[in-house]
């Protein structure tokens, strides 16, 4: 896994880049939905101390040795052959490192989780915009406008024409939007930027699609997955490796693509509390998006590459405020 990821993200000519982000935390989750059974592979690398226990498979029934379960993306859908572990790992030597090495532990600091005190009057639920109960109770005659967030290349965003005065339960027409709410009684304004999943027939019928459509010809793995009918997602909070000294993508590389959302947050929404996006922690927002994909597209096969450099870039310790656990892929548990 890691050689694939590193080769994609940092070709060998970019060794310095590899060094710079060597402590980055990566989660790759590729999930394969079958009508009556979930098969999921969750590879969780914490960058630092690593051992075989970092590689977890949540479907012991299908894994011969209970530790690894390989999925052959080159095989047509329906072919259940999983290559033997030996085929796959013979060239990959997993280093045995001490988890609590005192040399490293002296740099470890446990940070307090942020208290996100901002209020959000709206939230997203199953592709709809909801008004929060506390806002309805507290603010008389609440009116909210929906501004769809539109991707304008990989380095710009814009907002579409607003839908004025939306009702609770308004169906999203874009994956991201800006909500501007006013309470007439007190004349307070509240602005937030939300991410959620907009249900689209095209996506739902992905199985019928053949051929990737992005302009970027780099053979990213998600193109292969997409050609085989998988919904794809590349998610990285804020700036990513493809936009830092690189030109990014002319077209969104994957079906779900959070870059416009994080650009909007950075541009339009400064939270008073570090590591918060309005009422929620950054890690929670990041995970909610992941969760929404499962809620909105429960039956589709998915290849999701969700990555966040921000929690551990330059400094590993912010990782200590990211607290969550994955129970199973379709009813995620979060601890904050
Ligand atoms: C989400 O909304 C769709 C309709 O768009 C509905 O069919 C589905 O049951 C809803 N799912 C949940 C978990 O509420
Ligand atoms: C709220 O107050 C601002 C001035 O602070 C005013 O321009 C605006 O029209 C008011 N909005 C409402 C709905 O009363
Ligand atoms: C949103 O409303 C709360 C009060 O309910 C206020 O403290 C906060 O400043 C508002 N946010 C913005 C961006 O105006």
- Residue 64 has a pLDDT of 39
Distance (angstroms) between ligand 1 centre and the Cα of 63 equals 32
- Report which of 114, 102, 64, 72 is spatially closest to residue 274, judged by C-alpha positions: 114
| pLDDT tens-digit series, residues 276-295 | 899 888 888 888 898 899 88
**Positions of the chain with pLDDT lower than 70, given as ranges:** 1-91, 186, 207-216, 238-239, 245, 323-336
Tally of residues, the chain: 336
pLDDT digits (tens, 9 = 90+) for 191-229: 888 988 898 888 887 766 655 444 467 888 888 899 899
pLDDT at 74: 52
Residue nearest to atom 7 of ligand 2 (CA): 187
Q: How far is CA 284 from the centre of its chain?
A: 10
Closest Cα to atom 1 of ligand 2: 187
**CA of 187 relative to ligand 2 center, distance in Å:** 6
Distance 113 CA to ligand 3 centre (A): 22
pLDDT at 220: 85
**115-153 per-position pLDDT tens digit:** 998 888 999 999 999 999 988 998 888 999 999 999 999
Q: Provide the pLDDT for residue 89.
A: 56
Main-chain dihedrals φ then ψ at residue 226, nearest 5 degrees: -65, -45
Phi, psi of 85 (to 5 degrees): -60, -35
pLDDT score for 38: 35
Mean pLDDT, rounded, of the chain: 73
Q: pTM to 2 decimals?
A: 0.68
């Amino acid at each position: 896994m890691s050689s694939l990821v590193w080769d994609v993200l940092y070709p060998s000519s970019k060794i310095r880049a590899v060094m710079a982000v060597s402590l980055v935390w990566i989660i790759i989750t590729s999930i394969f939905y079958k009508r009556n059974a979930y098969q999921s592979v969750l590879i969780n690398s914490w960058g630092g101390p690593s051992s075989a226990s970092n590689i977890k498979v949540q479907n012991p029934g299908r894994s011969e040795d209970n530790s690894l379960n390989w999925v052959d993306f080159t095989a047509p859908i329906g072919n259940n052959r999983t290559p033997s572990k030996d085929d796959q790992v013979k060239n990959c030597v997993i280093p045995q490192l001490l988890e609590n090495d005192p040399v490293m532990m002296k740099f470890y600091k446990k940070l307090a989780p942020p208290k996100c005190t901002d209020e959000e009057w709206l939230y997203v639920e199953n592709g709809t915009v909801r008004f929060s109960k506390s806002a309805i109770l507290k603010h008389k005659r609440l009116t909210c406008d929906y501004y769809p967030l539109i991707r304008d290349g990989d380095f710009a965003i814009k907002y579409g024409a607003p839908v004025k005065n939306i009702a609770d339960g308004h169906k999203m027409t874009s994956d991201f939007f800006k909500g501007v709410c006013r309470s007439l009684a007190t004349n307070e304004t509240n602005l937030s930027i939300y991410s959620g999943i907009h249900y689209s027939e095209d996506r739902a019928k992905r199985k019928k699609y053949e051929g990737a459509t992005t302009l970027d010809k780099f053979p990213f793995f998600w193109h292969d997955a997409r050609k085989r009918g998988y919904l794809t997602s590349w998610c990285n909070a804020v700036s990513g490796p493809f936009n830092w000294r690189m030109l990014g993508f002319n077209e969104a590389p994957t079906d779900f693509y959070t870059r416009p959302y994080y650009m909007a947050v950075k541009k339009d929404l400064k939270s008073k509390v570090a590591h918060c996006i309005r009422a929620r922690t950054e890690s929670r927002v990041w995970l909610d998006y992941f969760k929404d994909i499962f809620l909105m597209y429960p039956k589709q096969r998915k290849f999701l590459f969700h990555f966040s450099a921000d929690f551990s870039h330059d400094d590993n310790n912010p990782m200590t405020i990211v607290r969550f656990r994955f129970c199973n892929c379709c009813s995620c548990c979060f601890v904050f």
